[in-house]
């Protein structure tokens, strides 16, 4: 099986035909989705295919699927693996290289799969191991890789390890988790929790366990006890799990909550956060707001990731060739911390730690985007950035960037930032059609427990996890008519759906498809450096993609609701432009000195 046989010929012939948006939309399927050549490759091509296998992740398009919500194939109202398999052609058409599956392992589903009770199986709600193998095989045929979510910070409290661990203080699994006596604990009194650490989902991170009379630590829900990474047996147990899935052919992993593996060994209290008046305050869960320096981003994670990278780099097989990519869920305070996640020289860690600093600015502020994009270009030692603007834990793009009037245009702006900058791009199912955040309106409808703790200030994450909107028919094509989907289909499905947008050349879907094709096929776009242009402008963000031997590309993005004109200058260029892509209604500029943009308009042109 040959996953990513994108030959140079395919790319060159595509570029020749790729001039403007119309050409982009009418052209052959995206390079990423080309079928594998039927015969063995001649030597030169075999070599380039081999390096394509190794480098597949460097300019890749990754798509997050929340399996519960993507496609239900068996009519129980819950999405499943066979549903995803049925929709692979759609993802191929979009230009996706790899799918990150949120957890599909057996789980009590308290945190909808992030509480895992068996790491080497598939939850019956989602299918079977045979369904998983078929998904991998069918995805491979389309040159799409499957990435698993790997949750190593905690397990479910129903996992056998924890069941053993909590059964007695002398059980061999006792020190697989984080058990501590309470403060002031006596034979008769459990005392207070060992310190002030809080769960990210509200209230104390310590849970009293009466049977063995100790507290256990949980960074997330009570049902998600943290494992003890100071125990070498945990390292071995997780390598065994990672190896199990690598052998099955997964293309890599997204490591969940990876910055929280370790805690302060001295167990010191977290510092209390102060507001602008110097006073402590309460968060959405009613708790005193705390910093998290004792429980997040401790240095111990680095050697662990070096160990897992070295382990996963040993996997290669003719059946599943190519790099197995390690992605980190890395919410970090600054670019220096992000840079560390790639690992020191000779000791690599993540291939792609998520850069959440660009995508979660959550405000269309030109100066901030310019600064953060510049950081990622200059301060990660030439590594590959992983840009991401959206996922299953945050309100969707409309809620964080939209203005309620120009939301589709603003999504064109955001997706341009995602795909037209250097690096790998990760986006969330439904973004490509403009699905909107649709939170529950009544507390009794909330499914995500954090929404119950935080109601009404924090309504939980149901709003960004609603069923994929495939068409305007019953249940939006997500599940059969007459079945209640696990979360309600948002009312927008009648107009915001795949079927309607696939046939509309001016749709958001068409825009995503065009940007992805450009990213995959234009050399400056695929591998060029990012150089910021017009750097004093506070309304329009402009940059250039520049690669040796390839024509440079300029990109201008209007961050405002008013038309703007920009004048760019590119050293050594005559000033003429050939339009590659522009938002609907935009015009072809006469020159670099006269780029006119409609409200939230985007222009992408090749410099002549
Ligand atoms: C991050 C995941 O994205 C989120 O959904 C989950 O609740 C926590 N980690 C805990 O696993």
pLDDT in tens, 297-312: 999 999 999 999 999 9
Name the catalytic one among 111, 123, 149, 329: 329
Considering 489, 517, 550, which residue would you say is the last residue of a domain? 489
Cβ density class 516-542: b for 16+ within 10 Å, e for less: bbbbbbbbbbbebbbbbbbeebeebbb
Q: Specify whether 287 is located in the same domain as 172.
A: yes
| For ligand 1, mutation pick of 109, 111, 295 (most atoms within 8 Å of CB) | 111
What's residue 36's pLDDT? 32
Residue nearest to atom 4 of ligand 1 (CA): 393
Q: Domain range holding 592?
A: 526-607
Give me 416's structure tokens. 């341009």
Give the C-alpha separation, 177 to 59, whole Å. Answer: 39
For the cut 60, the answer to whether the pLDDT of residue 398 exceeds it is: yes
Q: Specify whether 531 is located in the same domain as 468.
A: no
Q: Specify whether 544 is located in the same domain as 474.
A: no
Residue 256 Cβ inside 6 Å of ligand 1? The answer reads yes
Does 286 map to a domain?
yes
CA 331 and chain centroid, separation: 12
For the cut 80, the answer to whether the pLDDT of residue 37 exceeds it is: no
Residue 111 Cβ inside 6 Å of ligand 1? The answer reads yes
Residue 100 Cβ inside 6 Å of ligand 1? The answer reads no
Does 86 map to a domain?
no
Q: Specify whether 543 is located in the same domain as 603.
A: yes
The answer to whether residues 440 and 463 touch, using CB atoms and an 8 Å cutoff, is yes
Residue 234 Cβ inside 6 Å of ligand 1? The answer reads no
Considering 292, 312, 345, which residue would you say is the last residue of a domain? 292
Q: What is the mean pLDDT of the chain?
A: 92
The answer to whether residues 295 and 217 touch, using CB atoms and an 8 Å cutoff, is no
The answer to whether residues 463 and 437 touch, using CB atoms and an 8 Å cutoff, is yes
Does 46 map to a domain?
no
Q: Please state whether the peptide bond connecting residue 456 to the residue before it is cis, i.e. omega within 30 degrees of 0.
A: yes
Name the catalytic one among 72, 115, 131, 256: 256
| Confidence tier at 30 by pLDDT (50, 70, 90) | very low
Give the C-alpha separation, 33 to 414, whole Å. Answer: 24
What's residue 357's pLDDT? 96
Residue 329 bears catalytic tag: yes
366-394 average pLDDT score: 97
What's residue 26's pLDDT? 31
CB-side exposure of 108: number of CA atoms within 13 Å?
13
Residue with the bigger pLDDT between 560 and 13: it is 560
| For ligand 1, mutation pick of 102, 157, 256 (most atoms within 8 Å of CB) | 256
Q: Specify whether 287 is located in the same domain as 195.
A: yes
pLDDT digits (tens, 9 = 90+) for 193-251: 999 999 999 999 999 999 999 999 999 999 999 999 999 999 999 999 999 999 999 99
Q: Specify whether 479 is located in the same domain as 539.
A: no
Q: Specify whether 447 is located in the same domain as 544.
A: no
Q: Looking at ligand 1, which atom is closest to the CA of residue 220?
A: 10
Q: Give the CATH number, domain containing residue 547.
A: 2.60.40.1180
CA 309 and chain centroid, separation: 19
The answer to whether residues 522 and 15 touch, using CB atoms and an 8 Å cutoff, is yes
477-487 average pLDDT score: 98
Q: Which of 459, 468, 454 is nearest to 439 (CA)?
A: 459
Strand partners of residue 541:
557
What's residue 10's pLDDT? 33
For the cut 70, the answer to whether the pLDDT of residue 278 exceeds it is: yes
Give the C-alpha separation, 315 to 300, whole Å. Answer: 24
What's residue 200's pLDDT? 97
Give the C-alpha separation, 552 to 314, whole Å. Answer: 38
524-538 average pLDDT score: 96
Does 495 map to a domain?
no
| Confidence tier at 43 by pLDDT (50, 70, 90) | low
Give the C-alpha separation, 309 to 252, whole Å. Answer: 10
What's residue 32's pLDDT? 28
Residue nearest to atom 11 of ligand 1 (CA): 114
Q: Give the CATH number, domain containing residue 198.
A: 3.90.400.10
Give me 377's structure tokens. 């270009």
Q: Looking at ligand 1, which atom is closest to the CA of residue 111?
A: 7
| Confidence tier at 44 by pLDDT (50, 70, 90) | low
The answer to whether residues 41 and 526 touch, using CB atoms and an 8 Å cutoff, is no
Q: How far is the CA of 126 from the centre of ligand 1 (A)?
A: 19
* Overall residue count recorded for the chain in this entry: 608
Q: Looking at ligand 1, which atom is closest to the CA of residue 391?
A: 3
Give the C-alpha separation, 324 to 285, whole Å. Answer: 39
Give me 201's structure tokens. 């989902």
CA quadruple 274, 200, 260, 299: dihedral, nearest 10: 0
Give the C-alpha separation, 517 to 523, whole Å. Answer: 11
What's residue 369's pLDDT? 98
Q: Specify whether 564 is located in the same domain as 441.
A: no
Residue 256 bears catalytic tag: yes
Q: Measured between alpha carbons, how far is residue 600 from residues 362, 406, 535, 545 in Å?
A: 16, 8, 18, 21
| Confidence tier at 19 by pLDDT (50, 70, 90) | very low
Q: Specify whether 209 is located in the same domain as 269.
A: yes
CA geometry: angle 112, 114, 116, nearest 5 deg: 105
SS3 assignment, position 72 = coil
| Confidence tier at 440 by pLDDT (50, 70, 90) | very high
Residue 354 Cβ inside 6 Å of ligand 1? The answer reads no
Does 140 map to a domain?
no
User: Which stretch of 3-12, 422-431, 454-463 has the lowest confidence by average pLDDT?
Assistant: 3-12
Residue 349 Cβ inside 6 Å of ligand 1? The answer reads no
User: Which stretch of 210-224, 278-292, 378-392, 573-587 has the lowest confidence by average pLDDT?
Assistant: 573-587
Sort strands 577-582 and 540-546 into parallel, antiparallel or unpaired: unpaired
Does 577 map to a domain?
yes
For the cut 50, the answer to whether the pLDDT of residue 288 exceeds it is: yes
Q: How far is the CA of 176 from the centre of ligand 1 (A)?
A: 20
Q: Specify whether 162 is located in the same domain as 213.
A: yes
Residue nearest to atom 3 of ligand 1 (CA): 393
Q: Specify whether 187 is located in the same domain as 284.
A: yes
User: Which stretch of 313-327, 447-461, 518-532, 590-604 has the lowest confidence by average pLDDT?
Assistant: 313-327
SS3 assignment, position 63 = strand
Q: Where are the alpha helices (H) located in 166-204, listed in sequence order?
A: none
The answer to whether residues 74 and 67 touch, using CB atoms and an 8 Å cutoff, is no
| For ligand 1, mutation pick of 114, 150, 199, 388 (most atoms within 8 Å of CB) | 114
What's residue 24's pLDDT? 35
Does 344 map to a domain?
no
| Confidence tier at 540 by pLDDT (50, 70, 90) | very high
Give the C-alpha separation, 137 to 1, whole Å. Answer: 9
Looking at the structure of the chain, the number of domains it has is: 3
Q: Specify whether 288 is located in the same domain as 171.
A: yes
Residue with the bigger pLDDT between 91 and 40: it is 91
- Which H, E and C letters describe 251-290, residue by residue? CEEEEECHHHCCCCCCCCCCCECECCCCCECECCCCCECE
User: Which stretch of 18-27, 93-102, 361-370, 572-581 has the lowest confidence by average pLDDT?
Assistant: 18-27
Does 195 map to a domain?
yes
| For ligand 1, mutation pick of 64, 69, 220 (most atoms within 8 Å of CB) | 220
Q: Looking at ligand 1, which atom is closest to the CA of residue 461?
A: 5
Q: Measured between alpha carbons, how far is residue 370 from residues 349, 377, 445, 533 in Å?
A: 27, 10, 41, 10
Q: How far is the CA of 256 from the centre of ligand 1 (A)?
A: 6
The answer to whether residues 434 and 469 touch, using CB atoms and an 8 Å cutoff, is no
């Amino acid at each position: 099986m040959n996953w990513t046989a994108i030959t140079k010929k395919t790319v060159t012939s595509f570029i020749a035909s790729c001039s403007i948006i119309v050409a982009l939309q009418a052209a052959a399927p995206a390079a990423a989705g080309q079928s594998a050549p039927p015969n063995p490759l001649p030597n030169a091509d075999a070599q380039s295919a081999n390096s394509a296998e190794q480098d597949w992740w460097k300019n890749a398009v990754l798509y997050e699927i929340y399996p519960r919500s993507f496609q239900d194939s068996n009519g129980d109202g819950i999405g499943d693996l066979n549903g995803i398999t049925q929709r692979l052609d759609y993802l191929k058409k979009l230009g996706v290289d790899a799918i990150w599956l949120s957890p599909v392992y057996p789980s009590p589903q308290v945190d909808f799969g992030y509480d895992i009770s068996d790491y080497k199986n598939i939850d019956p709600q989602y299918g079977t191991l045979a369904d998983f193998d078929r998904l991998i095989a069918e995805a491979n045929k389309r040159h799409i890789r499957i990435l698993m979510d790997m949750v190593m910070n905690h397990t479910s409290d129903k996992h056998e390890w924890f069941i053993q661990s909590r059964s007695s203080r002398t059980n061999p699994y006792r020190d697989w988790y984080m058990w501590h006596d309470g403060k002031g604990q006596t034979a008769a009194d459990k005392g207070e929790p060992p310190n002030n650490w809080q769960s990210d989902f509200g209230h104390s991170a310590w849970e009293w366990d009466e049977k063995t009379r100790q507290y256990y630590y949980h960074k997330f829900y009570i049902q998600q006890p943290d494992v003890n990474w100071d125990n070498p047996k945990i390292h071995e147990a997780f390598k065994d799990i990672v190896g199990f899935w690598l052998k099955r052919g997964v293309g890599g992993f997204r490591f969940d909550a990876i910055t929280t593996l370790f805690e302060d060994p001295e167990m010191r209290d977290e510092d209390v956060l102060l507001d602008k008046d110097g006073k402590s305050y309460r968060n959405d869960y009613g708790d005193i707001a705390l910093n998290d320096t004792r429980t997040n981003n401790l240095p111990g994670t680095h050697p662990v990731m070096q160990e897992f990278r070295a382990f996963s780099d040993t996997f290669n097989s003719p059946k599943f060739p190519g790099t197995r990519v390690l992605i980190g869920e890395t919410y970090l305070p600054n670019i220096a911390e992000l840079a560390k996640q790639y690992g020191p020289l000779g000791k690599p860690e993540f291939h792609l730690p998520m850069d959440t600093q660009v995508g979660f600015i959550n405000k269309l502020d030109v100066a901030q985007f310019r600064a953060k994009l510049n950081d990622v270009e200059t301060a990660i030692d030439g590594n590959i950035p992983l840009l991401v603007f959206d996922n299953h834990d945050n309100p969707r793009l409309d809620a964080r960037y939209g203005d309620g009037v120009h939301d589709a245009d603003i999504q064109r702006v955001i997706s341009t930032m995602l795909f037209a900058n250097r690096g790998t791009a990760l986006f969330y199912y439904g973004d490509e059609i403009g699905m909107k955040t649709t939170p529950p309106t009544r507390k009794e409808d909330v499914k995500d427990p954090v929404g119950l703790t935080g109601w009404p200030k924090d309504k939980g994450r149901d709003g960004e996890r609603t069923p994929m909107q495939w068409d305007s028919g019953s249940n939006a094509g997500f599940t059969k008519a007459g079945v209640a989907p696990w979360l309600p289909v948002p009312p927008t499905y009648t107009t915001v759906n795949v079927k309607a947008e696939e046939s509309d050349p001016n749709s958001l879907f068409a825009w995503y498809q065009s940007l992805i094709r450009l990213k995959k096929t234009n050399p400056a776009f695929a591998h060029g450096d990012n150089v910021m242009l017009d750097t004093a402008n506070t309304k329009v963000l402009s940059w250039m993609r520049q690669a040796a031997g390839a024509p440079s590309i300029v990109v201008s993005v209007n961050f405002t609701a008013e038309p703007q004109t920009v004048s760019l200058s590119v050293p050594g260029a005559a000033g003429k432009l050939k339009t590659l892509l522009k938002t609907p209604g935009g015009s072809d500029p006469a020159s670099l000195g006269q780029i006119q943009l409609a409200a939230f308009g985007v222009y992408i042109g090749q410099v002549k």
